[in-house]
Structure 1
Amino acid sequence: MRPGELNRRIVVEQASNVKNDDGDLVSSWATVAELWARRADVSGRELEAAMAKDVEISVKFVIRYRTGILPNMRVVLDGQYYRVIAALDKSGRREEMQIYCATGLLDG
């Protein structure tokens, strides 16, 4: 992977519960990481590879390899929210991760 290919700055967020001033728990999103990524549309063959049946995957983000990207997270790019469906190291070489995402209703 060439560094110039990673031309989008994304934010990975995870849902969390925080207490407000009244002591009540409020759902919120906390930043897990800010990463450089490449955005790409998803082909039908990649949908099968992501094992995402009955899910509308619309985009994938390619990042440098890292652990800890989970399906309960979301990706934010230019004010648009994407629900993480799967994060895969398809080559198995720990060089890059492909984060498969869907758009649609998200909490928050």
Structure 2
Amino acid sequence: MDAGKFNRRITIQQPTVGRGTSGGRTTAWAEWKKVWAKVTPLSGNERRSTDHGGEKSEARTEFIIRYRLGITEEMRIQYKGKNYNIKHVKDVNDEHDIMVLTCDTGMNDG
């Protein structure tokens, strides 16, 4: 893949677990790496968010990056002020060169 296609800066975040002021568990997001990516919006739709009505917009986006060891579906991507849940991590052709991260904007906003 042409290096010039990686023209968008994204931040990959990982969850960190800590203790709140009352001693309970809290989850926060910490920066793992900033990388260059090719960003491709795939689809968007609205779905019911509760049984009592209301709709939530959801978008599916593909982020193509250079291979990085350690990226999992537990992480998320921050891009242009939005959080994207990583739903699938694919090492293209198992060559450790290019990765495709398929994401959605679902419910994981930190």
Counterpart in 1 of 2:48? none
Kindly tell me the number of residue pairs found equivalent between the two proteins. 96
Q: Which runs of 5+ in 1 are unaligned?
A: 44-55
Query: What TM-score results when the alignment is normalised by the length of structure 2?
Result: 0.75
C-alpha distance in structure 1 between counterparts of 2:70 and 2:29, whole Å: 16
1:57–1:100 CA contact under 8 A, matched in 2: no
1:75–1:81 CA contact under 8 A, matched in 2: yes
1:65–1:97 CA contact under 8 A, matched in 2: yes
Q: How does 1:1-108 map to 2 (within 5 A)?
A: 1-19=1-19, 25-42=25-42, 58-108=60-110
C-alpha distance in structure 2 between counterparts of 1:91 and 1:57, whole Å: 26
Moved over 3 A (4+): 19-25
- Higher alpha-carbon Rg: 2
Q: Which runs of 5+ in 2 are unaligned?
A: 44-57
Query: What TM-score results when the alignment is normalised by the length of structure 1?
Result: 0.76
C-alpha distance in structure 2 between counterparts of 1:79 and 1:107, whole Å: 11
Instruction: Provide the identity percentage.
Output: 33
Structure with more strand by fraction:
2
